[in-house]
Amino acid sequence: MLSRTCSELFALSLYQTAIAEIGKRFHNHEGASIRCLSVQAPTIAAAAYLRMAGRPPVLPSSNLSYSENFLYMLDSLAYKPNPRLARVLDVLFILHAEHEINCSTAAARHLASSGVDVYTALAGAVGALYGPLHGGANEDQGEQD
- Give average pLDDT by consecutive 10-residue segment, the chain, 145 residues: 61 67 63 70 84 88 92 90 92 78 86 88 81 62 54
CA 19, CA 13: separation in Å to the nearest integer? 10
Domain membership of residue 53 (yes or no) is yes
Range of the domain at 15: 8-144
Residue 63 lies in a domain: yes
Indicate which CATH number applies to the domain containing 107: 1.10.580.10
Q: How many domains does the chain have?
A: 1
132 belongs to a structural domain:
yes
What sections of 1-145 are H helices per DSSP? 8-26, 30-52, 66-74, 83-97, 103-113, 118-129, 135-144
**Residue 2 resides in a domain:** no
- Contact call for residues 48 and 11 (beta carbons, < 8 A): yes
Residue 128 forms part of a structural domain: yes
Q: Can you give the pTM of this predicted structure?
A: 0.66
- Residue type at 73 in one-letter notation: M
How much is the pLDDT for 56? 92
Residue 105: other Cβ atoms inside 10 A:
15
Give the per-residue pLDDT at 63: 92
Q: Could you tell me if residue 102 is inside a domain? A: yes
